[in-house]
Structures are given as C-alpha cells and as structure tokens.
Amino acid sequence: MLVPKAFLFAHPAKHSLSPAMHNAALANLGIEAAYLAKDISQEELAAELEQLRHSDAWGCNLSIPHKEHALKLMDWLSSEAQAIGAVNTVVVRDQKLLGYNTDAYGFMRSLEEAGIHVQDAKVVVLGAGGAARAVACGLKYAGAFVALWNRNTERAKVLCAELGLATHLTDDLLAAALSECDGLVNTTSVGLEQPMQSPIPDTLLSDGLATRWVCDIVYRPLETRLLRTAREKKYKTVDGLGMLVHQGARAFELWTGQKPDTETMRNAALEQLNQ
C-alpha cells in the first residue's frame, strides 16, 4: 500500500480530479507515494495544516473553501500567492508551511498551449471570485489589458482596485467591451454542471465581433454552452482542463522536484470526467 505524501484539503472533496491526475503522474515516474483527497471543513483546516507541518508529507493542495483563509496560516508566501491573495499549494519544508499559488501559471500555460499570446491583448474576464483573481493576475503580469465584469458590480470594483486593474465593466458596457476585445475568459461558476447556461447571452458573441478566442475555466462539462456557442461562431476555444492539469503539474514539481508528464495527468483526468 502506497503512503500518501501529498493531499487535497477541500470541502467537498469527493468529485475532485486531482487524485487521479497526481496518482497517475506519480506512477508514471515510478515514485512510490500516493496523493489523497481529504474532506476538511473550514474549522478543521488550521489543525490539519499543523499536523501536516510535523509530518513527513510533501504538502497539499487547497481548494474551495480554503484558498483565501489559508493565507494567514502560512509561514511564507510566494509572490504569486501574495498578488492573487490565495494559496492553492502548500509545501512543507523543515516544518515550515510555504504557500504558493499555481492557478495563474496553470491558466497561462493552458492559453500558451492553445497558441494564444496575450501581450498587449484586450481581454474581458467574467467573474470576481477566487478564480477571477488568479486569471486576472496571470493576464495582467503577462501584459494584457484586463477588463473585469461581474454580476455583483461592487465585488468587481473591489477586485479591480485590489489588483490595480482599469475600472470594472458595468452591465451596459459589457457588449461594447466584447465587441473590441481579443479574448474572453469565463471564471464564473455559470455552466458548471449546467450545460444549458451561459454567463452571457449567446448574441453577445455574434458573428463579426472582434473577439478572437474564448476560454471557459469550467471543465464539467468540458464544452460549456459558452464554449459551444463560441466554437459555432468560429472563435478559438480553450476549455478548463488545461488550467487544472498545469496548476497540478506545477504543484507536483514543487513537491517532488520532478516534472510530471502532463499528458498522463490530462488522460487520467479525462478518464474520470468521462465516467
């Protein structure tokens, strides 16, 4: 029986694709260790991290609802974790908890893989939650002009101020922004297990608009309604699996010092998604 050396702390944790991805990558490299998902409530997080600190584990991933809450529980934060304001990967070293965020890296790698370059590009980001923070940070540091829209306008305003972005988009400006942007990213949870819903009306992606690519970071289903509409209207589309795989690959590298095979990780995730 393989000993777990890396964990996922999340709530809920049951449907996560991370164990399948990481265990496949470990087996592929012949590393005799396991990755285990644990359902941890917000009240239990501090104690679980303390236990991790004194164990011989490599570390853990954090997912909903722990990413922001964990900031103050770390001994050190990477510059990405500080800029994004959330931790998704913890590395244990000399009984210290080092907090990283690999989400922005994962997102940017997934665009790169699709041949998308964002330097000087105008990109509309939908959403103002934790995922939007990582995506907007990644885009901003790569030289894109980010315009942020959120259903709750106040939240968009706060996030723009925190990340040093231009003013948020109000509802009446969204159509105009979409008509002149190069890319659109959905970071809202709309479409997640609701294949018929899209965060924006289909007509806002009408033919003739200049938006050239659309990314939806939702990966359940892999083709959301937004991506289907975008594909039908001939935009380049990027699904959310690439971000998931690459954020995981970077965490794996931080823990083991070895680069995992990302195709192995993607196939393991796809297999579970298709079950």
Among 27, 28, 141, 189, binds ligand ATR (CB under 6 A): 189
Task: Give the count of residues interacting with ligand ATR (CB under 6 A).
Answer: 15
In this structure, are strands 96-100 and 76-77 parallel, antiparallel, or unpaired? parallel
Q: Is 130 in the site for ligand ATR (CB under 6 A)?
A: yes
In this structure, are strands 96-100 and 89-93 parallel, antiparallel, or unpaired? antiparallel
Q: Name the nearest CA neighbour of 242 among 258, 257, 222, 256.
A: 222
Instruction: Tell me if residue 14 is catalytic.
Output: no
Query: Which residue's Cβ has the minimum distance to ligand ATR?
Result: 129
Q: Is 31 exposed, middle or buried (0-12, 13-18, 19+ CB in 10 A)?
A: middle
What is the smallest separation between the CB atom of 155 and ligand ATR, expressed in angstroms?
4
Q: Name the nearest CA neighbour of 200 among 126, 104, 274.
A: 126
Instruction: Pick the piece of the chain touching ligand ATR (CB under 6 A) from 100-108, 185-193, 236-244, 255-263.
Output: 185-193
Quote the CA–CA distance of 27 and 162 in Å, as a whole number: 41
Q: Is 199 in the site for ligand ATR (CB under 6 A)?
A: yes
In the set 5, 38, 67, 157, the catalytic residue is 67
In this structure, are strands 59-62 and 89-93 parallel, antiparallel, or unpaired? antiparallel
Instruction: Using the minimum distance from each CB to ligand ATR, give the nearer residue, 134 or 249.
Output: 134
Instruction: Pick the piece of the chain touching ligand ATR (CB under 6 A) from 1-9, 54-62, 146-154, 247-255.
Output: 146-154
Calculate Rg over the CA atoms of the chain. Answer: 19
Instruction: Using the minimum distance from each CB to ligand ATR, give the nearer residue, 19 or 85.
Output: 85
Instruction: Using the minimum distance from each CB to ligand ATR, give the nearer residue, 99 or 130.
Output: 130
Tokens, residue 1:
């029986």
Q: Applying CB under 6 A, which residues contact ligand ATR?
A: 127-132, 150-152, 155, 187-190, 199
Q: Which residues are catalytic?
A: 67
